[in-house]
Amino acid sequence: DIQMTQSPSTLSASVGDSVTISCRASQSITRWLAWYQQKPGKAPRLLIFKASTLEGGVPPRFSGRGSGRDFTLTISSLQPDDSATYYCLPYNSHSELTFGGGTKVEIK
C-alpha cells in the first residue's frame, strides 16, 4: 500500500503570497499524482493531474511539480478564493486510493 505524507497540515499566508504544499509517497508513483481543492460542504475539485497538468478552468496561479516520490503544489499570488483544504492523491493503482492528509490554507 502506498502511504502519502503531506505537509504542512495548515498554513496561513497573505493575499499575493506564494505558498507551497508538499506530498511524499512511500514508493515511486512516477507522475501519477493529482491535487484536489476542497471547500467546506463541497466535494473535492480536481486541480492538477499527472503531477503538473492543469485541469481545464483552473487558474494558472496553481502549478504542480515532481516525479517519483516527491511532489509539490504551488499557489502563486494567493487569492481569497484559494482558502480551502488541499489533498494529494496517487492514482497509479486500480485497487487502492490513498489521499494525503490534507493542507488547510488560510488567508491572513
Q: What minimum distance in Å lies between the beta carbon of 21 and other proteins? A: 14
Does 43 help bind other proteins (rule: CB under 8 A)? yes
Centre a 10 Å sphere on the Cβ of residue 51 and count the other Cβ atoms it contains: 21
**CB within 8 A of 99, min separation 6: which ones?**
4, 87, 88, 89
- Taking CB under 8 A as the criterion, which residues in 48-67 touch other proteins? 49
Rounded Cα gap, residues 6 and 15, in angstroms: 23
Does 28 help bind other proteins (rule: CB under 8 A)? no
Contact residues: other proteins, CB under 8 A: 1, 34, 36, 38, 42-44, 46, 49, 87, 89, 91-102
